[in-house]
Structures are given as C-alpha cells and as structure tokens.
Amino acid sequence: MNVLHRTWEKLIAQELEKNRKEAKKKWQPRLHIAPPVGWLNDPNGLCQYQGLYHAFYQYSPFDAAGGLKFWAHCTSKDLLHWNFEGVSLAPDESFDCHGVYSGSALAEEGQLTLYYTGNVKQTGEHDYVRTGRESNTVCVTSRDGIHFGEKKLLMRNENYPADLTCHVRDPKVWKEDGRYYMVQGARTAEDKGVVLLFESADGLNWKSLSRMETEKAFGYMWECPDLYKIDGRTVLSISPQGVEADGLNYNNVYQSVTTFLEGDFRSARMNGVFRELDAGFDFYAPQSFETEDGRRIQIAWMGMPDADEYYTNRSLEEGWQHTLTLPRELSVKDGILCQNPVRELDMWWNISMPFVNTYSGAIENCFELELSEVGERISLTLAGGLTLAWEEGEGIFRLEFTDDNLGAGRTRRGRKVEKLRDLRVIVDVSCVEVFIDGGRDVFSTRFYPEGEGCSIELQAPGSRGRIRTHRATAQDQAENPDSSKRQNMTAKRADVRRADKGAWQF
Ligand code: FRU
C-alpha cells in the first residue's frame, strides 16, 4: 500500500465520520445500494465469492456532484441488505491517477480478481478523446474478498487496435472452457461504438481476439459491455452514447440496450437489432454476474450521466447522489430478455394486503404493489404526483410526473405494451422500479416524496392484486438495530377515496 493510498484512506475516513455525525438520511433507500455521502455511478465487480455477494461501485466520496473516481465496496448475504465495507480501490498509481474507472470481478477458488480501467489525463492541449488520455487495463487480487494487494498494469493504449480513439474502457472478464475472456467498450477514430474481445490463458496476458460492431454506427461510443449466456441465448449488453431518440425509444441522454448474438461469440456477427433494457429515467451501465446457484443477476446504476440539464436528484441537498437498482434476475421468455427483482425480495415481504379493482390509502415508504390480474385499464398515482397508466386499445404503458418537486424535472416516458398481464411496482423511499408483464418491460425512476409515507391511488377495474410490506422482525433488530427503527410506519388503509383524476395527457 503506497503513501497516496494511505492519504486517501485518511481523508475518506474523515469524510465518512463527518457524515455519520451529521446523519443526513433523507431519501436514503432501504434496499437499494446508495452512497453514505458523495456520488455513486456504475456498479462494478459484481460477484458471489465464498458465499458472500459483493457489489462495488464508482464512487466520488468528496463531492456529491461527481469528481475523482474510487471503488466503494458493499457486501450482502441476501442481495437486499448491504453492508458498506468502505473504499477498496483508490487512484493512487501513475496508471490510474485520474480515476479508478469501471470494471468487473472474477471469482475463482481462493482468489477474487478485479479488472478495471485506470484513467489518466495527460497535461497539455488535448481533447481527451483523440489525444491526451491513457486507458489502462489493470487488475488486483484478494484472498479474503476485502483486502486487495498490488495493482498490476495489464494493457495500455498501444495494446488496443490502432484505429481507436483513446476511449477504451470497462473490462468485463469471465472464464469459459478453461480460458479467460474480456470485453471492453471503445470509440473508433470514426466515432463508432464497438466492443473489443480479448482472450487469455492465465487472466494476465491478454491478446486481442475480435471486435463486435454493427454495420452502421449505433452511437459514437459503447460503454460498459457485458456478454453472457442465458437460456440458450448469448446476450451482448452495451451502454451506447450518441443514439438519437426514436418515438418512445431512446429518450434519455444515453441508453442501455441488449442484442442476441448468433453463433460462437468469438466470431459472432451483430444483427443490429437492439432492445432498451429500461424505459424509465434512471438506468445506465448495467452489469451482471452468475450466482453460485446458477442465476444470472443484473444490477445497474439507477442514474443517468449528463442528465442535469433535464432532471436532477434532490438528495444532492443532503450531500449524496444516486443509487443502484435492485438486483434483477434475468431470463429469456418468448425471445425477450426479461428482468425481475431477485426472488429474495419475494420472501422478505411479510405483510400482504389483497385488494380488487381499487386501492386508496397511505402506506409506509417501502412496499411492493402487485397486480396479478389486470382489466382493461389501470391508473396508479404514487405520492400524489407520479402516475403509471395503461389502457387496452391504446397499448402504451405510461409513466408521468405531474408534480415537478416529486420528479425534480423528470416528465414522462412510455413503452408499447399491447396487453398488460401483470405488474409489479416496487417503491423504496426515493426509488421506483416497475416490472411489466413478467419483466418484459421495466421502468426505473427516482422520485422525491416529502414526509414519512407514500400515498397510493389505484383505479384498475377488473384487476386483482396485493400490497406487500415488511414489518420488522426480531431477526432484523438483531442484525441491524438502526434500520429497523427507521421502518414501519404501520401500513394503514385510508377510507378516503378521491375522485378519479380524469383523463391522462401524454
Ligand atoms: C459509465 C462510465 C464508464 C466509466 C465510468 C467512470 O457511466 O462513463 O464508461 O468507466 O463511468 O466513472
């Protein structure tokens, strides 16, 4: 550990201690990973190692509006309750001094290896796209999953194909049939997003194998690539930048999409057919990993880079910004990649209130509303200013903010949904995730309700469903005395039924 590392450690410890004393907890979710103080972006290094789940994330501890990037570290036994382990990677070497950028984890017998991009901005006159930036591929290992050793520089710009800009980053590594593979996102000199595939026999010495790209450019840069096999399909997941809005699709500043690769991934051709992973305001840079019981789990940044011009996060006033999404289980159904909250969540809710057709009331601010049968239309308003609506015939699922304080600039999003068969809406204080039709479509958004609870107004003739919450148990108290105090404004159904809010404008 070098001097710079020790200095960062001391400064971060001071920042965390100051924050602990001030105890600003407004809008902090209960189940979503959020930074204790400062800024969070991409999930990194997701894995299960020696039985414990690990999630790292891009972290700027000193500035909630973003800045120099570190890796923060959280661990969990159940994918729902995360323990903050502190900052494990800091920009403390000449090859990562302007940011320990995104990357992944490889969990092997007795060793956890993290791969990441060491970002360096050279001094002088540069645009930092074509010149002036080093994108170094670095790895670091740990035996216990908590303490990491010496960083090893594996590849520099000159090891990448010559027709690229200096934007090459976000190594995602996996092992298959005894060999190691790595994908990285890149921007070519012609401003085309591509994925680079590398191969290695030992995880340390890498050689460039092939490239995945579309015939026509789909954005100028592809960030945070991921490649995995699931239900007999090979999925390539990318976060492209520079894709134009197209009707209901691609309305955010940047996107996250998947495509199915046909044939062997080492030489696969891309067909240029992409599907957005999420139709909400806050979803970017997803990463997946495989659990020891064989599930493919994905977590994304529940935020959006460069969105401040359009919408913001009110938690900035509290000294922190952004969260990750809930972990989602992936599967392929009828040729569509579906995302559903991890099954652990299902088991965690321990109170269930069934309803038919309507529901109106105030409830605590962490709950799930589920419709298992849906009639011809639904309209659900949360916290008096976020409406989710769908109507048969029109075939569009809509999410709209009618209260600007609640949405902090977020307006409306929609997605074609011909037939709504079921719906799961998960509200966790300031995070809302909406799973439609078995997870075929998902909307993720942040919102900023005032007060302790959340009001629910549901009109859904012909529907049947339930609201689930979690009442603190003795086990919660034992495991986390602090958090169980914060929860459970006991769910109460209000008798007041407000008049229908009227027609929905998009
Ligand atoms: C995506 C991203 C990555 C990069 C990281 C830096 O949000 O731009 O490409 O590694 O964030 O924080």
State yes or no: pLDDT of 97 exceeds 60.
yes
Report the residue among 39, 68, 102, 238 best suited for mutation to probe ligand 1: largest number of ligand atoms under 8 A from its CB: 102
For the cut 80, the answer to whether the pLDDT of residue 104 exceeds it is yes
- pLDDT for the residue 493: 31
295, 329 contact by CB (below 8 A): yes
Average pLDDT, whole number, for the chain?
93
CB atoms near residue 372 (< 10 Å): 13
Regarding the beta carbon of 370 and ligand 1, being less than 6 Å apart is answered no
| Token digits of residue 482 | 């602090």
User: How close is the Cα of 169 to the center of ligand 1, in Å?
Assistant: 8
69 lines ligand 1 (CB under 6 A): yes
Q: Is the CB of 133 under 6 A from ligand 1?
A: no
Query: What are the pLDDT digits (tens) for 456-502?
Result: 999 999 999 999 999 988 878 777 655 444 433 323 333 222 222 22
Measured in angstroms, how far is the CA atom of residue 177 from the centroid of ligand 1? 30
Question: What does the alpha-carbon distance between residue 136 and residue 156 come to, in Å, rounded to a whole number?
Answer: 5
Cα 414 to Cα 132: distance, rounded to the nearest angstrom: 40
**Residue 198 main-chain phi, psi, to 5 deg:** -120, 160
**CB distance 104 to ligand 1 below 6 Å:** no
> Pocket of ligand 1, candidates 223, 256, 283: which has the most ligand atoms within 8 Å of its Cβ, to mutate?
223
The residue nearest atom 9 of ligand 1, judged by CA position, is 223
Q: What's the pLDDT band for 269 if we cut at 50, 70, 90?
A: confident
Ligand 1 site, residue 377, Cβ cutoff 6 A: no
Q: How many angstroms does the Cα of residue 498 sit away from the middle of ligand 1?
A: 45
Tell whether ligand 1 has an atom less than 6 A from the beta carbon of residue 92. no
CA of 101 from ligand 1 middle (Å) equals 6
Q: Which residue has the tokens 């880079």?
A: 305
Phi, psi of 475 (to 5 degrees): -65, -40
Q: What is the pLDDT of residue 255?
A: 97
Distance in Å, CA 255 to ligand 1 centroid: 13
42 is catalytic: yes
Amino acid identity for residue 209 in this structure: L
* Sign, CA torsion 37/39/43/44: negative
Residue bearing the bigger pLDDT, 279 or 25: 279
Residue range 308-359, pLDDT digits in tens: 999 999 999 999 999 999 999 999 999 999 999 999 999 999 999 999 999 9
Of 305, 356, 389, 314, the closest CA to residue 463 belongs to: 356
- pLDDT, tens digit, 9 for 90 and up, residues 160-198: 999 999 999 999 999 999 999 999 999 999 999 999 999
177 Cα distance to chain centroid: 29
Cβ partners under 8 Å of residue 208, min gap 6: 159, 160, 161, 196, 197, 198
Judged against a pLDDT cut of 60, whether residue 505 lies above it is answered with no
Domain architecture of the chain: domains with CATH: 3-20+29-336 (2.115.10.20), 349-486 (2.60.120.560)
| Residue 506 pLDDT class (50, 70, 90 cuts) | very low
Are 196 and 220 in contact, with CB atoms under 8 Å apart?
A: no
What are the strands of the beta sheet with 38-49, ordered from one edge? 82-89, 70-76, 52-60, 38-49, 320-321
Query: Does the Cβ of 409 fall within 6 Å of ligand 1?
Result: no
Q: Given a cut of 60, is residue 250 above it in pLDDT?
A: yes
Q: Is 285 in the pocket of ligand 1 (CB under 6 A)?
A: yes
Ligand 1: which of 39, 42, 222 to mutate, judged by most atoms within 8 Å of the beta carbon? 42
Residue 486: predicted pLDDT: 40
103 C-alpha to ligand 1 centroid (Å): 9
Q: Considering only residues 145 and 475, tell me which one the structure prediction assigns the higher pLDDT.
A: 145
- Cα dihedral 331→392→326→491 (10° resolution): -130
User: Which pLDDT does position 480 carry in this prediction?
Assistant: 65
What is the atom index within ligand 1 of the atom nearest the CA of 69? 12
Spatial separation of the C-alpha atoms in residues 476 and 380, rounded to whole Å = 31
Q: What phi, psi does 159 have (nearest 5°)?
A: -90, -5
